[in-house]
């Protein structure tokens, strides 16, 4: 049997407070929402869970608060079989939380309070060095300090480990720190913010991806929601359409894409097919409510892929 991929995620863990509403209150106004859901989230944790459900051995490096949510988050990782040796509680800080608002068409708006995620430092990456060195891929997002992201990218480069960065939420970045990065995976609004150019369609996304590559990134994948995704790599520029799925909540779809993509690549699946599979995995996640709890396990995904792939 082929070796199971080893995926390390250096990233965030949040508690998601998802409210379904068809309108937003004006200043000073109180209105009723339709439905509420409480769940485990955070871009890092979501990507770790997607990778685990796709069949990888997953190692999480994260910080949680010393509140009710901290131990619950660690327990959730453990129940899913994710290694938590490097997930620690931080005294005096809350856990990361994310109030999420979902419109009737499944579109989401997310507000993140980073809490303990902001306490994940380069020294914590050093403490996890032996675990990280054994990984097939290290996955990062922007809900932890950017210095920690840059430090980990440099660590991955030094040790020849594949590295994927999801620049979410978008922030001003030092492109030099991402030189030789294997995969940079923003969505349209993140690509627009980081690239400083409009990304309203596939052609604009291509221009933005090419510009990011000129800055030293090896490969760019821009996730385009219902339009699928765009892969731009040396000699490759492919728009990969989405699969038709009845979407009720798109929260966490980008994370589903990244976590599953890391696993498919580590399994040796060719890049373009790995993107197609990740498109389906992400699309399927939008058919359920919430982030992690809407992700498919590998058996369910493979059954869908056998029909639609």
Per the annotation, the verdict on 249 as an active-site residue is: no
Of residues 146-175, those binding ligand RIB (CB under 6 A): none
Is there a contact between 261 and 164 (Cβ–Cβ < 8 Å)?
yes
Residue number, 43 or 277, with CB nearest to ligand RIB: 43
Residue closer to ligand RIB, measured from CB, 140 or 233: 140
Sheet holding 6-10, edge to edge: 83-90, 57-65, 6-10, 137-141, 162-166, 183-184, 219-223, 229-233, 236-240
Q: Are β-strands 236-240 and 229-233 bridged in parallel, bridged antiparallel, or unpaired? A: antiparallel
Q: Which of these is catalytic: 124, 255, 297, 302?
A: 255
- Closer to ligand RIB at the Cβ: 155 or 251? 251
Question: 83, 124, 136, 143: which one contacts ligand RIB (CB under 6 A)?
Answer: 143
CB of 138 to ligand RIB, least distance (A): 18
Residue 169 or 216: the one with the smaller Cβ distance to ligand RIB is 169
Q: Is 42 in the site for ligand RIB (CB under 6 A)?
A: yes
Site for ligand RIB (CB under 6 A): which residue of 6, 7, 11, 43? 43
Longest dimension (CA), the chain: 61
Interactions with ligand RIB, residue window 207-266 (CB under 6 A): 251-252, 254-255
Contact present, 124 and 63 (Cβ < 8 Å): yes
Look up residue 175 and give its two tokens: 């492109």
Rg (CA), the chain: 18
Residue nearest to ligand RIB (CB): 41
Minimum distance of ligand RIB from residue 287's CB (angstroms): 16
* DSSP letters for 58-104: EEEEEEEESSTHHHHHHHHHHHHT-EEEEEEEETT-PPEEEEEEE-T
- Segment contacting ligand RIB by CB under 6 A, of 36-44, 60-68, 144-152, 178-186: 36-44
- Across the beta sheet with 108-110, the strand order is 35-41, 14-20, 96-102, 108-110
Q: Which is nearer to ligand RIB, 98 or 199 (CB)?
A: 98
Binding site for ligand RIB (CB under 6 A): 14, 16, 41-43, 46, 98, 110, 112, 143, 251-252, 254-255, 291
What amino acid positions are annotated as catalytic residues?
255
């Amino acid at each position: 049997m082929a070796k199971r991929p080893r995926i390390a995620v250096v990233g965030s863990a949040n508690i998601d407070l998802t409210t379904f509403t068809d309108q937003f209150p004006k200043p000073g106004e109180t209105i009723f929402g339709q439905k509420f859901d409480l769940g485990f989230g955070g871009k890092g944790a979501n990507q770790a869970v997607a990778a685990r459900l796709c069949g990888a051995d997953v190692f999480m490096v994260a910080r949680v608060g010393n509140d009710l949510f901290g131990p619950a988050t660690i327990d959730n990782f453990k129940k899913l079989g994710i290694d938590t040796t490097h997930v620690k509680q931080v005294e005096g800080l809350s856990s990361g939380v994310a109030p999420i608002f979902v419109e009737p068409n499944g579109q989401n708006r997310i507000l993140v309070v980073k809490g303990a995620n902001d306490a994940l430092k380069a020294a914590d990456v050093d403490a996890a060095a032996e675990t990280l060195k054994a990984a097939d891929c290290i996955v990062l997002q922007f809900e932890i300090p950017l210095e920690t992201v840059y430090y980990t990218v440099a660590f991955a480069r030094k040790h020849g480990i594949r590295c994927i960065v999801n620049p979410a939420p978008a922030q001003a970045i030092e492109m030099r720190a991402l030189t030789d990065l294997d995969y940079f995976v923003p969505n349209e609004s993140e690509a627009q913010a980081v690239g400083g150019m409009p990304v309203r369609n596939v052609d604009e996304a291509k221009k933005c991806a090419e510009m990011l590559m000129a800055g030293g990134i090896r490969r760019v994948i821009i996730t385009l929601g219902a339009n699928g995704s765009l892969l731009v790599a040396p000699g490759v520029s492919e728009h990969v359409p989405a699969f038709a799925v009845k979407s009720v909540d798109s929260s966490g779809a980008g994370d589903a894409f990244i976590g599953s993509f890391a696993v498919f690549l580590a399994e040796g699946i060719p890049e373009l097919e790995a993107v197609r599979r990740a498109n389906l995995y992400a699309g399927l996640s939008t058919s359920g409510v919430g982030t992690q709890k809407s992700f498919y396990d590998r058996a369910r995904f493979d059954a869908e892929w056998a029909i639609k792939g």
